[in-house]
Amino acid sequence: MTASSTPLRGSIVALVTPMLEDGSVDYAALRKLVDWHVAEGTDCIGVVGTTGESPTVDVAEHCEIIKVAVEQAAGRVPVMAGCGGNSTAEAIALARFAREVGADSQLQVVPYYNKPGQEGQYRHFKAIAEATGDLPIVLYNVPGRTVADLQHDTVLRLAQVPGIVGIKEATGNLERAQWLVREAPQDFAIYSGDDATAVALMLCGGHGNVSVTANVAPRLMRELCAAALAGDVATAMSIQRRLLPVHRQLFVEANPIPVKWAMARLGRCGGTLRLPMTELEPRNQAPVEAALREAGLLDS
């Protein structure tokens, strides 16, 4: 993906950040996950987003995770670096680092907690683009977490800013997403950030899915996205029905709690999270495991 190229399409995994039992980042496991996603056909690896526990890794770790992912990907698959913050200066600093180490694009979330208005959000993203727009910027709207909501007209304004190439639309509101598909520039990518409705958004003209489910089912999610983007409704919906229980159960508690537990159950990495996130409640473990089994991700 470049600022002037055809948008990236397909399955973008919102990758977990593996951690050892003492809470330190498990970089060896991170490298293995990158290799696994390459082998499974994932179209792009997104690191240090919400699923990657960006709120609890420190700045040095945040940068090192990006660097290690880029090194391990080694050009085999693009890396989308989570660089967002509720400080514009911090977001720019992270983006500059990601650019320096060779990331292919940056994911910039709506500033959280300080609740900027539409003009503040516009100026925030515009300033990032002016400073680092040669590293393509994907906006990230997830008002369920940020409270602030990047509204339709503001997205259209930002779509005119050089360097801003797309949006991860994580509201799950399909009517809203369809208006973006209808009115945004043709080369502006619209990605789902909601696994349960991603197939519908792609069938409506979206470009792909930034996926939590892809952590546990990378090949299936890649096949689902490929089918939906090709207009193969039967194949896309067959896979969607298979993964529906996984989509639901991976959000039975706040992300990334369930997916971290699922990854540990699959033997892909440890299940350690950092406070204030805590391990999946015992009452929710059986339903998550059952969903994995139903989707054929665990042996019966």
Phi, psi of 42 (to 5 degrees): -55, 135
Of 67, 126, 168, 260, which is the active-site residue?
A: 168
140 is catalytic: yes
Nearest to 52 by CA among 21, 83, 75, 87: 83
Of 67, 140, 191, 260, which is the active-site residue?
A: 140
Amino acid identity, position 228: A
Instruction: Kindly give, in sequence order, each residue whose CB lies less than 8 Å from that of residue 94, ignoring residues fewer than 6 positions away.
Output: 59, 62, 63, 81, 83, 84, 85, 106
Query: DSSP labels for 51-79?
Result: TTTTTTS-HHHHHHHHHHHHHHHTTSS-E
Scanning the structure block, which residue is given the tokens 């090192």? 64
126 is catalytic: no
Are the C-beta atoms of residues 152 and 175 closer than 8 Å to each other? no
Strands 44-47 and 105-109, how do they pair? unpaired
Between the CA of residue 293 and those of 45, 174, 242, 296, what are the distances in Å?
A: 25, 29, 10, 5
Between the CA of residue 137 and those of 143, 146, 148, 165, what are the distances in Å?
A: 19, 18, 19, 6
Structure tokens at 288: 């998550």
Using alpha carbons only, what angle is made at residue 164 by residues 210 and 145, rounded to the nearest 5 degrees? 45
The SS3 assignment for 89 reads helix
What residues are labeled active site? Answer: 140, 168
